[in-house]
Structure 1
Amino acid sequence: MRIKHRILPLILIVLMGVGATASRAQQKDLSIVRDAEIEHILSVYAKPLFEAAGLHPGAVKVYLVQDDTLNAFVAGGQRIFVFTGLILATRSPGELVGVLAHETGHIRGGHLSRTRDAISNAQAISIVAALLGGLAAAASGRGDAAGAGVLGGSAFGTQFFLEYSRTQESAADQAAIKLMERTGWSPRGMVDFLRVLDAQELMLGQRGNPYLRSHPVGYERIQALEHLIDQSPMRDTPVPPELVRAHEMMQAKLFGFTRSPSATFQKWPESDRSDAALYARSVAYMQQARTDQALAELRPLIEKEPENPYFHELEGQILLEGGRVQDSLPPLRRALEISRHETIAVLLAQALIGLQTDEANREAVGILEQAVRTDPDMPAAWQQLAVGYGRNGNLGKSALASAELYYRSGQVKFAREQVVRAKGLLDPGSPDYFRAQDIEFALDDLERRAD
């Protein structure tokens, strides 16, 4: 499976193996997006909220789902899913923080109520496993497959989303206001976004939006929130200008990657020389394989902020996408030096593997090994490691990396095949052999749970 627009640092992981309860007509593929810049911004917003809620920041994960729908939900315990469509619809950082605070309120409150169409425990396990990987890229054995982003997929039922009672919604709202106050945010953003949703509901004349279904708005809810906010000592606290700009840049980048180039050029014509316009158009030109134009749009941003790692990352991606692999290395190295984010490391490793030299391949393997130690839930890293190990002749490690990929995607059959292959190639008693055994035992456990 391929996607219309290739996304390198925006690594898409299509949810797989989910036994959806919705009908086929109601099903759709959802994709988890990995991006260093967006994850950083969401972390800036979310981590203080988690800490204020008494949750360990490392225990709560925020996933970005590539979908135009205005939606966000909690699943699998302490996991928050935010759709790109919702981010693009927010008009300020405070609105997005309000959504995250509300979902954090659901986690803290232990709100696990679901509709009669809710998923079973076994399906929940499948979803959590599916978040961590995919199938097609690893199966292809192509070094550029992860660059395309898609790692396989099957339909995911939209009726999975949680539905909350009015009592739970009210409790989450009140918790969100307190969390925003404790972390220095005006809670106005939350009610502002609810007004947007309420207006959309009235315009549509139906509950057609998943967020509206799972988080009923209603006049009474908005009125109650407005009353609480009027009493808030933080109600008029302004948003720091640097966060406003970061939010605008994140939205411009997302728009460029998730919309057609023509839509980007219509929203930000050449006459618009704002930073957001330059950022969005640089992505759009890259999507059209117009490398020089993409670089020309990006260059003023790099000159203005030479220490911004995400501008260097995009420069490297543009060059790599344009077939200028050697030229992509300096900006990608610079981006990784500043940010140290694992998705940038994977992109650099992909470029190094693309050079097809022994020295570059060894460096790529070292970078990827560090990346998976830091974040083992990086399917693209495991896929590239399988390629890198294979190219240096270490077929046992290559099979083990493939097993990690399939295991983390919930693809039991393919994971087991690679585990058997790895055990036949690895030295018995070695750490890698024991890891293969661990995966084998874990696969047995997954199959027992599915029964």
Structure 2
Amino acid sequence: MALRWSSLRRPIAAGCALILAIAAILPTLAVVLPGEALAQRRGVSLVRDAEIENTIRAYAVPLLAAAGLTADSVQVHLVNDRSLNAFVAGGQRIFVHTGLLQRAEPPAQVIGVLAHEIGHISGGHLSRLEDSLGNASALMIASMLLGVAAGVASGNPDAAVAGILAGQQIAERNFLSFTRGQEAAADQAGANFLDSTQQSIMGLVEFMKILANQEALQADRQDPYVRTHPLSADRVAALTARAEQSRYAKVPDNPENIERFKRMQAKLMGYLDGLGATLRKYPESDTSHYARYARAFAYFRALDFTRAQTEVNSLIAEFPNDPFYHELKGDILIDMGNVRDALQPHRRAHELGPREPLLAYGYARVLVALEDNSLLPEAVTILKDVVQREPESSAAWQQLAIAYGRSGDIGMASLASAERYLIEGALRDAQGQAERAQRLLKEGTPGWLRAQDVIAAAKDRRREMRNR
């Protein structure tokens, strides 16, 4: 489906939690928190869009291969945030802000950032970062305890403050030195991946120069990438020197990457920036398919469904085999309340992109919404495939539960609901639905066994929460 939001909140790793606890006492430490800890602290609003995810995946796959990583082992997530940022977190997951995608100029800048982040993954920097955070935390705790002890012994509270600040300064210097070293290593690894794939390093150099210009700004005016990826003149100089030596520095972006990039930016502007901003960049006089695509989304968001349909229908007439134009038409019809009319464009989108789980979900959602029981077997089949491909999709599990329930399979409906609640962290509900499923399903069947797993997982998580 086109640009839908979800939220991601994960428990903070022990080392990061400790850093955050100390940062509450010593606020200046916040500048050294890595992007993962910052994201976890505030929660992350994620954007799901099959076309944009395809674009990022197309940019990343050659780089992953050059790094010796399989494409399926690394997940890319889009963060609904206008700031300039990207980071690696939660194992092999790359988070890219929509702001970065909108503000980049050539696609080479986005590709360069991806190469850098893949450099972090291939270098095992996340596990090393945890060790560094742990060391920094231990040093600060020791300094705090010693400082407090000194203050109590001497009767001078200033001694305690001095001890704490000294420990903080040492830990901060050590941590910044460590992360700068990691950033420089990721730069060089990313440069290697770009060279290996015969792509220009200049996009990464240009991006780093943009960040270097931001370092003079006050911290609250800087983009998060500057604060969470410690920069230095040496890093920029090293990348510039590397570019001068690269055989591929002057290689232009290939036409396919440019096409994907322009479509992505048009889509993001139309959906996120409002009608006024979209019409300023893509006025009605611009009849390019990028402009029509952007205006279709902007009119859609402004609830001007007539103009939105005019734009998208013109795109479908010109490009009848583009699944994403059909998807948008179906979404417009759904928002107009014409669910039955939305069935055909969503079916066509799924037919044209059969391997895309988000397009499959969009079609299945319409099948369920029509409340026609003859359509339920197809909906169940499609949704089972979707949750197999994307087991963390609580929306797909919810639709599957509805489809099973209306089909009269209450046991599987309960199991699907249990899966949904487990993903959403509603652990009591997950356990209750899984226990209900276990009572209704035949002992020893795959569903019955999975219900056991969900019950155990819910109990374990509840136990962990109580013990925190």
- TM-score range (shorter-chain normalised) is 0.7 to 0.9
Per-residue CA shift, 1:294-316, capped at 9, x if unaligned?
11112232233222211111111
Alpha-carbon displacement from aligned partner over 1:82-125 (angstroms, at most 9, x marks no partner)? 111111111111111111100110111111325759999xxxxx
Distance 2:124 2:443 in 1: 45
Q: Distance in 1 between matches of 2:194 and 2:309?
A: 39
Supply the distance in 2 between the matched residues of 1:171 and 1:303 (Cα, whole angstroms). 49
User: What corresponds to 1:444 in structure 2?
Assistant: 459
Whichever of the two has the greater Rg, that structure is: 2
Query: Residue type matched to 2:340 in 1?
Result: Q
**2:231 corresponds to which residue?**
217
1:419 touches 1:440 (CA, 8 Å); kept in 2? yes
Structure 1 residues 119 and 218, CA, compared in 2 at 3 Å: closer, same or farther? Answer: closer
For 1:12, the equivalent position in structure 2 comes to 5
CA drift of 1:387 comes to 1.5
Contact 1:268 1:281 in 2 (8 A): yes
Tell me the equivalent position of 1:41: 55
Q: What's the secondary structure of 1:165's corresponding residue?
A: helix
Aligned-partner Cα distance in 1 for 2:199–2:218:
31
- 1:430 maps onto 2:445 in alignment: yes
Counterpart code for 2:182:
Q
Q: Partner of 1:266: helix, strand, or coil? A: helix
Q: Which moved more, 1:423-432 or 1:223-232?
A: 423-432
1:242 to 248, 251, 256: 256
Q: Give runs of aligned pairs for residues 313-392 of structure 1, distance below 5 A.
A: 313-340=327-354, 341-392=356-407
Report the Cα distance in structure 1 between the residues aligned to 2:441 and 2:390, rounded to whole angstroms.
24
Label 1:118 to 1:241 Cα distance change in 2 as closer, same or farther (>3 A): farther
Offset, 1:272: 2.6
The aligned residue for residue 436 of structure 2 is 421
Does the CA contact (< 8 Å) of 1:201 and 1:207 recur in 2? no
- Tell me the residue number matched to 1:194: 208
For the residues of structure 1 that align with 2:347 and 2:353, how far apart are their CA atoms? 10
Which deviates more, 309-318 or 294-303?
294-303
Aligned ranges for residues 84-95 of structure 1 at < 5 Å?
A: 84-95=98-109
Match of 2:196 among 178, 182, 187: 182
Determine what percentage of the aligned residue pairs are the same residue: 43
1:252 equivalent among 266, 272, 277: 266
- 2:438/2:451 contact within 8 Å kept: yes
Q: CA deviation at 1:270?
A: 2.1
Counterpart code for 1:270: E
Distance in 1, matches of 2:245 and 2:404, equals 60
Q: 1:296 aligns with which of 310, 317, 339?
A: 310
Superposition deviation, residue 228 in structure 1: 0.4
Report the Cα offset of residue 205 of structure 1. 6.4
Q: Output the CA distance in 1 between the equivalents of 2:90 and 2:187.
A: 21
Give the letter aligned to residue 351 of structure 2: E
Report the 3-state secondary structure (helix = DSSP H, G, I; strand = E; otherwise coil) of the residue aligned with 1:277: helix
1:366 deviates by: 1.8
- Could you say which residue in structure 1 is the equivalent of 2:112? 98
> Matched residue of 1:186: which SS?
coil
CA deviation string 1:389-419 (max 9, x = no partner): 2222222211111111122334323311221
Report the Cα distance in structure 2 between the residues aligned to 1:258 and 1:190, rounded to whole angstroms: 26
8 Å CA contact 1:207–1:213 kept in 2: the answer is: no
Q: Distance in 1 between matches of 2:219 and 2:287?
A: 39
> Which residue of 226, 250, 254 maps to 2:240?
226
- Residue 171 of structure 2 corresponds to which residue in structure 1? none
Change (3 A) 1:45 1:205: same
Q: 1:309 aligns with which of 308, 323, 326?
A: 323
Q: CA deviation at 1:204?
A: 4.7
Contact 1:11–1:380 at 8 Å: present in 2 too? Answer: no
Give the secondary-structure state (helix, strand or coil) at the position aligned to 2:215: helix
> Residues of 2 paired with 1:410 and 1:246: CA distance?
36
Amino acid paired to 2:429: F
Residues of 1 paired with 2:268 and 2:232: CA distance? 30
In 2, distance between residues paired with 1:306 and 1:45? 25
CA distance in 1, matches of 2:309, 2:216: 43
Q: Tell me, what secondary structure is at the counterpart of 1:239?
A: coil
Contact 2:3 2:47 (8 Å CA) reproduced = yes
Structure 2 portions without partners, runs of 5+? 25-29, 31-37, 138-174
Deviation at 1:29, TM superposition (A): 4.0
Q: Contact conserved, 1:17 with 1:410, CA < 8 A, in 2?
A: no
- Deviation for aligned residue 1:377: 2.5
Higher relative contact order (CA 8 A, sep 6+): 1
The structural deviation recorded for 1:381 is 0.9
* In structure 1, C-alpha distance between the alignment counterparts of 2:235 and 2:410, rounded to whole Å: 59
State the alpha-carbon separation in 1 of the partners of residues 276 and 416 from structure 2.
40
Contact 1:295–1:318 (CA under 8 A) maintained in structure 2: yes
Q: Deviations over 1:348-368 (max 9, x none)?
A: 111111211111233222211
One-letter amino acid of the counterpart of residue 201, structure 1: E
Match of 2:417 in 1: 402
Q: CA separation in 1, counterparts of 2:292 and 2:451? A: 47
Residue 159 of structure 1 aligns with which residue? none
Distance 1:309 1:431 in 2: 35
Code of the aligned partner of 1:49: L
Would you tell me which structure has more helix in proportion to its own residues? Answer: 2
User: Alpha carbons of 1:179 and 1:356: their partners in 2 closer, same or farther (altered >3 Å)?
Assistant: same
Alignment of 1:129-208 (within 5 A): 165-204=179-218, 208=222
Task: Give 1:447 deviation, angstroms.
Answer: 4.1
How far apart, in 1, do the equivalents of 2:346 and 2:136 lie?
41
Q: Distance in 1 between matches of 2:359 and 2:189?
A: 35
| Matched residue count | 403
Equivalent residues of 1:17, 1:411 under 8 A apart? no
Q: Which residue matches 2:426?
A: 411
State the TM-score, normalized to the length of structure 1: 0.83
